[in-house]
Amino acid sequence: MMDQTDICTLESLRRAKTDFHNKLCRASIDSDPLLLQKLRSENVFVLSEFFFLLSAFDLIAHPNKLEAYILSHNRQLNDLIASDERRKLMGLEVPRLKRGVFSMIQVHKAKANLLSATPGLDQADIQRLTIMLFSPETGRRVIECLEAAGFLTRVATPYYSKIVQSHGTIEKFFAEYLAQVRNDVPQGGTPKPEVQT
Amino acid sequence: MKHAIRALIAAPFLLAGAAQAMPCDGIDLSLREAVQEVLVSAENPRISGWARYLNETFYTEVSCKLSHGMNAEDVLRLRGEPEVLLDLIMGTYMTRNQSDALMLMLSAMKDGSGEKS
């Protein structure tokens, strides 16, 4: 038996996501087919969500907020490292999770980067913060892809780090994606209980 | 560790399924040698033993897939951490669902912003 609301909801989600990727491809400064193919990948969508949330929570503008975020991230990783069952459910391995844990020196450096002449997150910090999403190597690849398309800039510093600065386009497109889902999904359905993590 | 060893054992069987994956324009011999070196020099005798057992086809295929994001230098940095390399190799064959990790990320950012998660 077909539930029309379910079908409409599914269509809305799919349409909004397709539109998101189409916008990225149209706005790309390079129309190389391989780059456009990468811009349509799930990892690009996921990293866009990361940048959208950074902006939505205003974490880059406030070093103290960034610190609280990183410490919470560290706690999550340490909990997963200690919990065999949860880690297995997520399909993650201890060595990979350990690569995502910030030392206190790295936390201070991340905060200092926000106060520099070219404020932003170091690429290595982004790789650590997204370690549960993808490996650092994949993270770098997605960042490079978004840079090639003109959505991010990487600024090399004298300290051998690369500060990643977003131009705001991917955050804007992601917000539009969410607005489109919100507007298109039929109203009046019973909300599902929140998923506990 | 058990998972990593299972991954290594399963790797040759994954090759068939990977045949339709992105092709390589050319074989990066230095990358292939680096992958082989990291696995063969593993302290864990089960990993190093299997690494010696695996043939050139395996290393060529794995190097091809890793070459889209890594070079030989990147791989050699993982000397002493063969489990991490195995994790990366498995990641090139399977894309995991990221919803659970995205929920955790959202929760950590909420903590950072001072909102109750």
Query: Using one digit for the tens of pLDDT, what is the confidence trace for B39-77?
Result: 999 998 988 888 888 888 888 888 887 887 788 988 898
Task: State which residue of chain B sits closest to A131, comparing Cα positions.
Answer: B101
- pLDDT reported for residue B17: 41
**Cβ within 8 Å, pair B74-A59:** no
Q: Structural domain tally of chain B?
A: 1
pLDDT in tens, B66-114: 887 788 988 898 888 888 888 778 766 666 778 889 999 999 999 998 8
Looking at domain A4-60+113-184, which CATH architecture does it have?
Orthogonal Bundle (1.10)
- pLDDT reported for residue B56: 84
Instruction: Name the residue ranges covered by the structural domains of chain A.
Output: 4-60+113-184
Task: State which residue of chain A sits closest to B83, comparing Cα positions.
Answer: A95
- pLDDT reported for residue B57: 83
Distance CA B90, CA B71 (A): 17
Is residue B26 pLDDT above 80, yes or no?
no
* Residue with the larger pLDDT of the pair A97 and B13: A97
- pLDDT reported for residue B6: 52
Best CA proximity match to A145, nearest among A70, A6, A37, A17: A37
Best CA proximity match to A54, nearest among A126, A116, A104, A117: A126
Q: How confident is the model at residue B16 (pLDDT cuts 50, 70, 90)?
A: very low
Burial B65-92 (b: 16+ CB within 10 A, else e): bbbebbebebbeebeebbbbbbbbbbbb
Q: Which of A66, A76, A78, A129 to mutate to test the interface with B (most CBs of B within 10 A)?
A: A76
- pLDDT reported for residue B93: 66
Chain B: give the shortest CA distance to residue A113, in Å.
17
- pLDDT reported for residue B12: 46
| Global pTM value | 0.74
For every residue of A85-119, DSSP letters joined together read HHHHHHT--HHHHHHTPPPHHHHHHHHHHHTSSS-
Chain A: give the shortest CA distance to residue B104, in Å.
7
- pLDDT reported for residue A155: 94
Distance CA A178, CA B86 (A): 36
Interface of B with A (CB under 8 A): 3-4, 66, 68-70, 74, 81, 83-84, 87-88, 91, 95-96, 98, 100-115
Structural domain of B8: 2-113
Q: Going residue by residue through chain A, which has 197 residues, state the pLDDT in tens, using 9 for 90 and above.
A: 678 888 888 999 999 999 999 999 999 999 998 899 889 999 999 999 999 999 999 999 999 999 999 999 999 999 999 999 999 888 888 988 999 999 999 999 999 999 988 899 999 999 999 999 988 888 998 999 999 999 999 999 887 889 999 999 999 999 999 999 999 887 765 555 555 54
- pLDDT reported for residue A194: 52
CA separation, residue A30 to residues A17, A142, A151, A169, B114 (Å):
21, 15, 11, 15, 39
- pLDDT reported for residue B25: 61
- pLDDT reported for residue A74: 98
- pLDDT reported for residue A48: 97
For residues B14-40, average pLDDT = 69
- pLDDT reported for residue B24: 62
